[in-house]
Structure 1
Amino acid sequence: MKKPIILLTILFLLLPKHNHAQDKGAVVAGAVGALAAIGAGVAAIEQMKERAELTATEWLLANNPEMNSFSLKTMDFDGKKLKDMSSTSVITFKIQEFVPADNPELDGKKQVLLGFTSHGWINEYGIDFNKIKWFLIDKPEWTRMMVAYVRVASGEWVNTHVEETLTQGKIVNKGVKVKSKMAIPFYKLSGDMYVVTDYSDDMKFIYNERSLGIFLKATKDLVQIKRGSLIELHEFFFEEV
């Protein structure tokens, strides 16, 4: 509720002042119309997030029947404008198991569910969740992914301590830090330069200007994961207890 009020206040401050009541009425009508459009866009995205979370839960239940108690939270819905979300993107969900009890603690196994979308996953008919490819990743797999990414982003191919550095430190914009000291710096590249490594039968990793690009071989889609999302996911797995 606070956000629409703030937006309306800003609109009133930015719009020019008029001397006639009719002009003032037009300004108010325009401001209200703009606010309504913003509110509709926010509501549409929130509805999409809820549907995506429901679909992710259904996928998890269908493909991992051994999981009987877990928390699933949407971490990132890509942050794109609604009109741009029909293109490829990635939706990330944090998953953690727990023991059922009154006011249970989330202290069980951690996993991340990545939902990679394909072109046209949002169309005039709504959301086509058949165009999402799911990957469930646990801590060991995430560590292997980040080792491959750090190596392609830094050139540390012969460094046998990359995994140790990752588990002890944290990923930041310019590399991997351990106790506030830069341990592995990343390449400084321009926006049109790419470094590629073949990670698995499903993916290639691409380092480009402070971001991790994942090329999905099956769909031939290149999706960029924002550095902020990378940092948050890594901290989710390696946060201090």
Structure 2
Amino acid sequence: MTVSHSLMFIAILGLVISLTNAYDPSPLQDFCVAIDDLNGVFVNGRFCKDPRRVNPEDFFFSGLNIPGNTDNQVGSNVTTVNVDQIPGLNTMGISLVRIDYAPYGQNPPHTHPRGSEILVLIKGTLYVGFVSSNQDNNRLFAKVLHPGDVFVFPIGMIHFQVNIGKIPALAFAGLSSQNAGVITIANAVFGSNPLIYPEVLARAFQLDVNIVKELQAKFGSI
């Protein structure tokens, strides 16, 4: 075998191995219903319920028809249906949310560290978008959505939704994680526990330190 053929073989072998490792392993059981019982089998951050004790309630949730209370500072409410509400979602890599928006309310800039999001607007008009990473020059990808429109927010990207209409808006979103998590930017930066030194944030955001302290007083109590 010539040197060039050897290098080609090594390259192809490396590609095959990398593609093989890019997929999740096949499930070894039908489901892994999450349970707090420490005597179960530990899988993906949760213990599995004995399959013989699994019942339909483990895969069921009721209440997404009920509007969330949007009488708050941001004018929105997120009703989450993840593994905490449906134990049967454990290891499935999916979850769901209902988002209600008051007129001109918003779901403020935030990220999901463990999942991408696909959102469909049911009622109202939303201005939505996400910002790419520093590596991509923090480009804004934004659209105005009308009922029936769909928008995708990639995993980890800072994104937002704003109701730009005079009537309440309603959207549903799916996430590619059983527990995608959420980091609301303003709350995390100005409301951390304990608080970040005001001087650090003043320099980072090019603000007067007293303004930072005011923001920390506001978000630190949320």
Question: Which category of TM-score, normalised to the shorter sequence, fits these structures?
Answer: under 0.3
Q: Which has the higher helix share?
A: 1
**Normalization by structure 2: what TM-score?**
0.26
Q: Flag the structure with more relative contact order, 1 or 2, with Cα contacts below 8 A and sequence separation at least 6.
A: 2
**Normalization by structure 1: what TM-score?**
0.25
